[in-house]
Amino acid sequence: MRLFLIPLLILLTACQSLPTDKKASESLSESELQRPDPHSLANFEDVVITHLKLELKTDFADKALKGHVVINYKKLNPDVKYMVLDTRDLKIRRVSLANDSKQQLSWQLGQAEATLGSALRIKLPEGEAAIRIDYQTHPKASGLQWLNPTQTATAKHPFLFSQSQAIHARSWIPLQDTPAVRFTYQAQIEVPSALRAVMSAKNNPEINPDGIYQFDMPQAIPSYLMAIAVGDLQYKKISEHVAIYAEQPFLEPAAYEFAKTEDMITAAEKLYGEYRWGDYDLLVLPPSFPFGGMENPRLSFITPTVIAGDRSLDSLIAHELAHSWSGNLVTNARWCDLWLNEGFTSYIEARLVEAVHGQQRMIMEAALNLQGLQKEMADLPEAEQRLSTCEVNLDSEDVFSGVAYDKGRFFLEWMEKQVGRADFDAFLNQYFDHFAFKSVTSKQFIAYLQENLMAQHADKLPLDIVNTWIYGPGLPDVLYVPVTDKFEVINDNIAAWHNGTRNLADIETDKWTTQEWLHFLRALPTPLDKQTMQQLDKTFDLSNSQNSEIAHDWLLLSIRYHYEPAYSRLIKYLTTIGRMKLIVPLYKAMMETDELQHLAQRIYQKARPGYHPLAQSAVDPIVNHQSDNL
Ligand code: BES
Ligand code: ZN
């Protein structure tokens, strides 16, 4: 199971909220489902934000962003009297006309709702004069993590980063927090003079000794791509369009690890048209970053846990880069159509990995992902096995499952194989151009597909099979199953070892890649007794693996089969890494093992303060921790 895929509801409800009038676990009500975007309270069908101008100061002592935002908007309905914005846990100080802050506007902050936050209702002035909101964030804002110096690589300075997807931008900016609305932005951010601010915008690599940083984002983006980070960040340009921002100790390792990024951009442009965002920089975050990566435009946010030393985990970069087309350029209009972002992106990721690392690696990753998806789907109710979940009255908590990613990806691969690469590539290229800077629904995609690909290939892409992929449960049996000799060789080795005809030490592992190790660990016969675990560890030094993915799979086995010599590594791992995909399965496995529940709780007690609010909300219920969030 692709376990970074933490249920959306957890993402939505992390760190909620002041007094709630609705239980977090409830599904969306009928009236919520009727909204144009069930996850936003904004009246964006009547009035839309067109531009934001932020002026914020980072106060590390108070753990707050303080300042104001100026909002430009356009009335779609000339009679609209109010603008409703999304907020969560914001302290609103005043609302006024932008060019005359003495002219206050009347406003009202609604009751906090568990999943959605509080609606900020502002009486609009006559005409379309820009408005200004003075506000500050809460220290536990769900979209921000404030790190103490000890949680950073150099342990000298504090660090701040945002994570706005899916609906956390509202916890640091009052705005229309829906992927259906796009706006441009400018920002001025004031930080302590030893630190540097970066944003999902044009970044100026010059250090500003006065601590004031200016940003301009000329391309319109949806709110979930608003991003900021502040820290002791060094800068290194590594190729024509790519630079790394990282704390000093990560700078050179990241420059080596991500050296293929420029080639990935070249490959993507060849397939899907011009990269439209200017530069493509990478920000390496501290290890508590709760995801692998986040596709913030012009500046992807990246976990340091993919710095393996051999570029074997850089498909994450291919993925985040791919979002520059699928997601950032053409965006799902609602989160129930997430597959239009993540499924397309996972498909493009595979194409880019194939282009820069070759077909073998791409197929090995596909095979690992398919295994994971099948396992995950076996535990999902049918309604959550669909690509598009908008039609069903379903808890939207699971839209971020492997279904959107991998089922989406295999659907696109199926279409590609049916019509041939040349036609499919041309179709996608044209699709990105046609819907550039727009938001789309599954229905719109299908209509476009019918007109521009199915019409020419009616026999190869029958509508009923397309519909089965998008609206049906499970995996259609037309799926192309990825098969690779590399894994067959491993299976043969395991079988020979298992029946006693080969020693572990005689298996040729010298040239194994990360993907082969992962397959090996997942294909081992179970259960494994302690002696066998010891033998594996002695032969391959697995407890000391510095590869975060291999270590993760080994620790999972160690928990499952009570292999105590690995526990010190387990403790170190869980107290230094906060990436949900890597930590959640380990806590789960410990809690499923009676003898290890206590250890899980002890480790968590130590690790929790260093985790991101989202990771805390994901792990709290697993280890039965009483949440103290807000
Ligand atoms: N947009 C996602 C990260 C995300 C997921 C944010 C869910 C909020 C909620 C990003 O593009 C992503 O998918 N990251 C993956 C990368 C992997 C599939 C290569 C991750 O973080 O592991
Ligand atoms: Zn993604």
Read off the amino acid at residue 167. I
β-pair type (118-123, 107-109):
antiparallel
Kindly list the catalytic residues.
320, 405
Closest ligand by atom to 340 CA = 2
pLDDT at 128: 87
The span from the CA of 552 to the CA of 569, in Å, is 10
What's the 236 CA to ligand 2 centre distance in angstroms?
Answer: 25
pLDDT at 4: 41
Q: How far is CA 609 from CA 7, 98, 337, 629, in A?
A: 22, 39, 34, 11
**Model confidence, pTM:** 0.95
Task: Give the residue, out of 1, 2, 3, 4, with the most ligand 1 atoms within 8 A of its beta carbon, to mutate for a pocket test.
Answer: 4
Provide, for the chain, the percentages of residues in helix, strand and coil under a 3-state DSSP scheme, each rounded to the nearest 5: 40, 20, 40
pLDDT at 153: 93
pLDDT at 395: 45
Low-confidence residues in the chain, pLDDT < 70: 1-30, 32-33, 392-399, 628-630
Q: How far is CA 537 from CA 127, 532, 545, 579, 594, in A?
A: 71, 8, 10, 25, 24
Is the bond into 166 cis (omega within 30 degrees of 0)? Answer: yes
Task: Give the residue, out of 294, 340, 548, 549, with the most ligand 1 atoms within 8 A of its beta carbon, to mutate for a pocket test.
Answer: 294
Tokens matching residue 578 = 């906060």
Protein residue with its CA nearest to atom 17 in ligand 1: 316
pLDDT at 630: 55
SS3 474: coil
> Which protein residues touch ligand 1 with a CB less than 6 Å away?
4, 11, 165-166, 291-295, 316, 319-320, 323, 342, 400, 405, 581
Helices first, then strands: H and E counts in the chain: 20, 21
C-beta separation of 314 from 306 below 8 A = yes
Residues 6+ apart with CB under 8 A from 462: none
pLDDT at 625: 87
What's the 441 CA to ligand 1 centre distance in angstroms?
Answer: 20
Task: From the CA of 323, give the closest atom in ligand 1.
Answer: 11
Closest ligand by atom to 165 CA = 1
The span from the CA of 176 to the CA of 572, in Å, is 41
Protein residue with its CA nearest to atom 1 in ligand 1: 294
What's the 464 CA to ligand 2 centre distance in angstroms?
Answer: 28
What's the 39 CA to ligand 2 centre distance in angstroms?
Answer: 19
SS3 367: helix
Biggest CA pair distance of the chain: 85
Task: Give the residue, out of 223, 291, 344, 399, with the most ligand 1 atoms within 8 A of its beta carbon, to mutate for a pocket test.
Answer: 291
pLDDT at 627: 72
pLDDT at 28: 63
The span from the CA of 482 to the CA of 624, in Å, is 39
Task: From the CA of 315, give the closest atom in ligand 1.
Answer: 19
Tokens matching residue 228 = 């900021």
Interval 128-149: pLDDT, tens: 889 999 999 999 999 999 999 9
SS3 531: helix
Is the bond into 304 cis (omega within 30 degrees of 0)? Answer: no
Q: What count of Cα atoms within 13 Å lies in the side-chain half-sphere of residue 447?
A: 7
Q: What count of Cα atoms within 13 Å lies in the side-chain half-sphere of residue 157?
A: 15
Residues 6+ apart with CB under 8 A from 195: 58, 157, 158, 211, 230, 231, 232, 233
What's the 341 CA to ligand 2 centre distance in angstroms?
Answer: 7
Task: From the CA of 165, give the closest atom in ligand 1.
Answer: 8
Distance of CA 299 to the CA centre of its chain: 14
Task: From the CA of 316, give the closest atom in ligand 1.
Answer: 19
The span from the CA of 350 to the CA of 315, in Å, is 8
What's the 346 CA to ligand 1 centre distance in angstroms?
Answer: 10
Of 27, 8, 24, whose CA–CA distance to 16 is shortest?
24
436 CB neighbour count, 10 Å cutoff: 14
pLDDT at 3: 41
Read off the amino acid at residue 156. K
pLDDT at 9: 37
pLDDT at 399: 64
